[in-house]
Amino acid sequence: MSWLTNFVRPTLKRWMQPRPVRETQWVTCPACGATAFHRDLDANWRICPHCDHHLTLPAERRFALLFDSESWSRIELPGAAADPLRFRDAKRYGERLKEAAALSREAEAVAVAHGRLEGEAAVVAAFEPQFLGGSFGVAAGEALVAAAELAALQDAPLIVVTGSMGPRMQDGALALVQGPRVGLAIKKLAERSLPVIAVLADPAFEAVTDTLLLQADVVLAEPGARLGPPAPDPFAALDTPEFLAPRAGVRDAAAALAAGRVDRIADRRDLKAEIAALLDILRRPVPGATILTYRPKPLISAQDSDA
């Protein structure tokens, strides 16, 4: 009797109860408000099928998007101090890191992998926007430096896909010095004529973005990617209408393209082909191509000077 009472009846009761639909099965587009089944959205690389709005894409999916099938592997990144300043706001920094790791299934805000992109070796560093908004701290800086060193070791190009709310305030001044460190690592790739391509995905707020805009050979941006100052709330939920609300100093990819800060806007579904074509140009310049040299006209002609 106890077995029937304690096991069989509760089990049957659970089976007979209606099962709730998971909240994540249907996703609402923050741009147009339409809903899409999560599997259909994932199959379309998290691009809204109704308005083509590009939602945030996890780092793992970035690797699947850019690398050839089953040709890539992730690298183990150097560890960084979990809480160098013993920072605490509403929660302890260590607690926020644990929650972010559980939510994103990533150890930090940047993941790195190497493999084949259209048959050619490449190194990709991708920001994970669900890990504290992809905020740029000490560990993220270490990851990007490691990615650049790996690219140099493999004589391969480096592709960096950003998606960051800005510098990580919990790391204090240590987060601010990561930009110059990454810049020096990228400079070493330039000295070896290894291409560096930056892909700006929303959000692309200031931190490492400025370094990449200055030093990358080509800067691509996904449609709707926004550039500007760090977000006032680094813990704000992503992919919401509130997150997409206009903010002073923030411009979208189209405005950045018009201002010359971005070289090209590339749809996420075409990103792999775009990068492959660019790498083919950068690594295999046309033999005998004419190099144009700008020769300014003299302000005073020879006849005018004789006169």
pLDDT at 19: 47
Say how far apart CA 90 and CA 235 lie, in whole Å: 11
Structural domains for the chain = 23-53 (no CATH), 57-283 (3.90.226.10)
Q: Where are the beta strands (DSSP E) in the chain?
A: 26-28, 35-37, 73-74, 110-117, 120-127, 158-164, 196-205, 218-221, 226-228, 251-252, 264-265
Q: What is the mean pLDDT of the segment spanning 124-132?
A: 92
Task: Give the 3-state secondary structure of residue 77.
Answer: coil
Which tokens sit at 125? 């560093």
Query: Do residues 185 and 146 lie in contact, with contact meaning Cβ atoms separated by under 8 Å?
Result: no
Which tokens sit at 53? 């709005």
pLDDT confidence bin for 128, thresholds 50/70/90: very high
pLDDT tens figures, 83-121: 666 666 667 877 788 888 888 888 888 999 999 999 999
Which tokens sit at 47? 């691009």
pLDDT at 109: 87
pLDDT tens figures, 215-237: 899 999 999 999 888 777 777 78
